[in-house]
Structure 1
Amino acid sequence: MKIGLYFGTFNPIHIGHLIIANHMVEHSDLDEVWMVVTPHNPFKKKNSLLDNNHRFELVYRATENYPKIKPSNIEFKLPQPNYTVYTLAQITEAYPNKEFCLIMGEDNLKSLHKWKNYETILEHHHIYVYPRISEGKTETQFDKHPKIHKIAAPIVQISSTMIRNAIKDKKNVAPLLTQEVWEYIDEMNFYKK
């Protein structure tokens, strides 16, 4: 079984994330997509980040109706800050009969050469890339790399930051979230301050 790992803080998960995950599982050779909730990205300010378990609950609720898309909290048990190469090693060891691939936006592919042990990642895993509108160029070494697959997914211009700011400003963001996610955010009063 081939699993695509889609990493993110998912703060909160929105329909853009689901559109990409669903497109990847329906229009590539991936059997499932696991939404890996990352505990804390060192490049993001932590003050606006919901607790790990609340973000996992949001992902769980968002993916409940999609049998091929699953929530994953594997990184919660790993030492922080964590690197993708370590997560891949752990998850491969935990599920030896599954093949794991990375899902990333084109913007992340542009900085892949700066990732810790990126050569090891490419040696052992395929990478599925979805388009993003972003600045800069992809390293030429990745242009025709046999393990990098560009998937013509829809370009989604929705961000979790935009949603958090809109909630704080008392705007209606319900169309950008699944009903289950919106109800949980509203019930818990998340992002309102």
Structure 2
Amino acid sequence: MKVGFMGGTFDPIHIGHMLAAESAREACGLDEVWFIPAGQPPLKENGPVADGQTRLEMVYRAIDFQPHFRAMDVELDSDGKSYTINTIKMLHEQYPGREFSIIIGTDRVNDLAQWHEIERLAEMVRFIGMTRGGQDMKVDNLPAFLRDRLTIVEMPQIKLSSTDVRDRRAQGRSIRFLVPEKVYSFITRNGLYESQ
């Protein structure tokens, strides 16, 4: 079984995440895409705004009724930073026989060589780099061992980030249609990301 691993804070999950997952699934023949909210991402200076269980709940709501998508909570209980290598080792142990690919955006492709234990990780997985509007993917700057394990996939161009969604909420602007409808309802009902 071919599984796409999609990590991130998902703070909140938005339609760009969904488009990336579906584009990668279709282009690379993935059987499933697993959304794995990070506890504390090592390459982000600031931690998530919403707590782990809230972010996981939003992912569940976003992928509801999507037969090829799953939500996993394996990183939320880990202490310290969430290193992908540790998660992949755990997934290989718990789900033998799966062929994992990590789905990443342009920004993560560009810093891929800086990932923790990247040479070992590249032996265990493939990488799927999703094109993102307005950002330059510097594939030629990557070491050969990473270029050989990287597939580039074009997706519908949408300039959107979780930060954009949070900023709009803080400014009192609508986020409807930027996040899946069930996530929109959850955010508004719980007053998430409103200005303090």
Taking structure 1 as the reference length, the TM-score comes to 0.92
**How much has 1:146 moved relative to structure 2?**
2.8
Other-structure match for 1:148: 150
1:185 lines up with 2:187 in the alignment: yes
Other-structure match for 2:71: 71
Residues 75-94 of structure 1 mapped to structure 2, 5 A cutoff:
75-94=75-94
1:113 lines up with 2:113 in the alignment: yes
Paired residue secondary structure (1:75): coil
**How much has 1:77 moved relative to structure 2?**
2.7
Q: Does the Cα contact within 8 Å between 1:58 and 1:181 map onto a contact in 2?
A: yes
Distance 2:6 2:61 in 1: 16
- What's the Cα RMSD here? 1.8
1:53 lines up with 2:53 in the alignment: yes
* % same residue: 29
**How much has 1:97 moved relative to structure 2?**
2.3
Other-structure match for 2:28: 28
Distance 2:23 2:102 in 1: 14
Distance 1:130 1:53 in 2: 27
**How much has 1:28 moved relative to structure 2?**
1.6
Distance 1:142 1:156 in 2: 29
Structure 1 122/15 Cα, relative in aligned 2: closer, same or farther at 3 Å? same
Q: Does the Cα contact within 8 Å between 1:142 and 1:148 map onto a contact in 2?
A: no
For residues 101-142 of structure 1, the C-alpha deviation after alignment (integer angstroms, 9 at most, x for no partner) is 111112211111111111111112111111123357332424
Letter matched to residue 69 of structure 2:
I
Other-structure match for 2:12: 12
Paired residue secondary structure (1:176): coil
Q: Does the Cα contact within 8 Å between 1:8 and 1:37 map onto a contact in 2?
A: yes
Distance 2:18 2:96 in 1: 27
Task: Flag as ranges the 4+ runs of structure 1 deviating above 4 A.
Answer: none
Paired residue secondary structure (2:36): strand
Q: Does the Cα contact within 8 Å between 2:106 and 2:136 map onto a contact in 1?
A: no
Distance 1:5 1:68 in 2: 12
For residues 67-96 of structure 1, the C-alpha deviation after alignment (integer angstroms, 9 at most, x for no partner) is 111111111232311211111101111111
Structure 1 155/59 Cα, relative in aligned 2: closer, same or farther at 3 Å? same
Letter matched to residue 68 of structure 2:
K
Other-structure match for 2:138: 137
Q: Does the Cα contact within 8 Å between 1:2 and 1:100 map onto a contact in 2?
A: yes
